[in-house]
Structure 1
Amino acid sequence: MMKSLTRSGKMICIAAITALAGLILYIVTSTTGYLAGSALDPLPIIFSVVAILMACGLLIASSKLNPLLNDLLVVASTVLIIVSFAIFVLARVRLAADIYFIPVNYPKAEEVALNISAAGFVCYLISIIAMIIAAFSGKIKHN
């Protein structure tokens, strides 16, 4: 299947994989360590899963879909990944503020949670960039 994909298709694969990695890091940092007792926002999980499913659907059925629908799915998936990233970052602002702006007595677990979250941020950013590249590329599969 990978041989039939164009650059756009490969970018969608990269975006789906890195969005999944960012989602896993979001769940891990939200449910373990310093943030173990805090409330988990389900929106990034839902949006990321839907975006990943859309990306997988594009890879599987893009040749059978209307080109306009392909474009709409790419844009919708990109928007969902961006919203997931934004919610993830906003949920970690308090950690960054405690560590970088009030660096007095914070627990080491707080810094670990922020550092792992930063890896999740990078995964989501790679996913966003890959989806933007895919949006401006040609077809997803070779004929």
Structure 2
Amino acid sequence: MKMQLEKTDYAVGLAAAASLIGLAIYIFTSVSGYLASSPVNWLPVAGTGIAVILMAVLIFMKQKFSLLAADSMMIGSAALLLYSIYEFVLGRVSLAADVYFIPVNYPPSEAAALHISIAGLVLYFAADLALIIAAFMKRSEEK
């Protein structure tokens, strides 16, 4: 039996890919460079991991769930990504303060960590936006 993907599945897949890349950037900036000596907050990692698992279930097994359950999984994924964004930003506020608001004698590695983190945040926001758009798309069961 061949599975047929819908437009919603592509948007959710795009969200999953963007959030995984954003997660990779978060982990990379947390364990290397300027932030290597600080402890890693694993809440964004767990939140993103659970959100990606929910998105994979939405793409590959949604026909086994009711529309309400599928919508709940999509809302849960979006909420988990927003929480991950919150924790990501909270961990990088001190970098932004040092680089942008107190621009005196900060190491170049601090600015590099901040700018790479901003790219990760953009990917997280794109993932959440793709999920929000997917939530409003028409599905084949509704036609």
TM-score range, shorter chain: over 0.9
Q: Percent identity?
A: 41
TM-score by length of 2: 0.94
Name the counterpart of 2:35: 35
- The equivalent residue for 1:74 is 74
Separation in 2, partners of 1:21, 1:120: 7
User: How is 1:1-143 mapped onto 2 (pairs within 5 angstroms)?
Assistant: 4-139=4-139
**Gapped regions of structure 2 (runs ≥ 5):** none
Work out the CA distance in 2 between the residues paired with 1:9 and 1:26: 25
Q: Give the Cα separation in 2 of the matches to 1:57 and 1:13.
A: 11
**1:21-51: CA deviation from partner (whole Å, max 9, x where unpaired):** 0100000000000000101111000000000
With a CA cutoff of 8 Å and minimum separation of 6, indicate the structure with the bigger relative contact order.
1
> Could you tell me which amino acid in structure 1 is paired with residue 59 of structure 2?
L
Q: Distance in 2 between matches of 1:112 and 1:139?
A: 42
Q: Distance in 2 between matches of 1:24 and 1:100?
A: 24
The number of equivalent residue pairs is 141
